[in-house]
Structure 1
Amino acid sequence: MPAAALPRIDAPRCTGCGRCVAACPPRVLWLQAAGPKGWGPKQAELHDAPGCTGCARCAVACPFGVIHMVKATVA
């Protein structure tokens, strides 16, 4: 069953601390380098939306309020 809500990450405000990634039980978030070839600052990214359970642990774990849960849309 798809999640009712998915995390929306405000990428420009993300510090790349990784707390959201560590808090995610299904491991659908990862840190992605902003620059070419894996260089540069890292930012959190949802890489597997269908695998997300919508638990919001990532949003709770973010100390900067960068992640907000939004209603999932049916494709």
Structure 2
Amino acid sequence: MIGILAASDSGAFLGKDLLPYLVLAMGGALVAGNLAAIVKPPEAARKDGDLERAPIGRSVVMAVIGLVAALWALASLLT
């Protein structure tokens, strides 16, 4: 019947895959941002209280957390 949504189509953007796509995006951003902070720190501090470079340990931990989240989301989307 026209005008009635099917049971599998909720009408939401990206349907049932919205959450895995969001987790994939956030995980990828965590990985990219933290690795960029490690590899290429800012040339000069912007304010007096800014660090010269990102704390390596915290950045690596956050990048690993982002990688796990992105891989988990990717596996959820592919299965």
Fold shared, TM-score > 0.5 on shorter chain: no
Please identify the structure whose Cα radius of gyration is greater: 2
Q: Which has the higher helix share?
A: 2
Q: Normalising to structure 1: TM-score of the pair? A: 0.23
Q: TM-score, normalised by structure 2?
A: 0.23
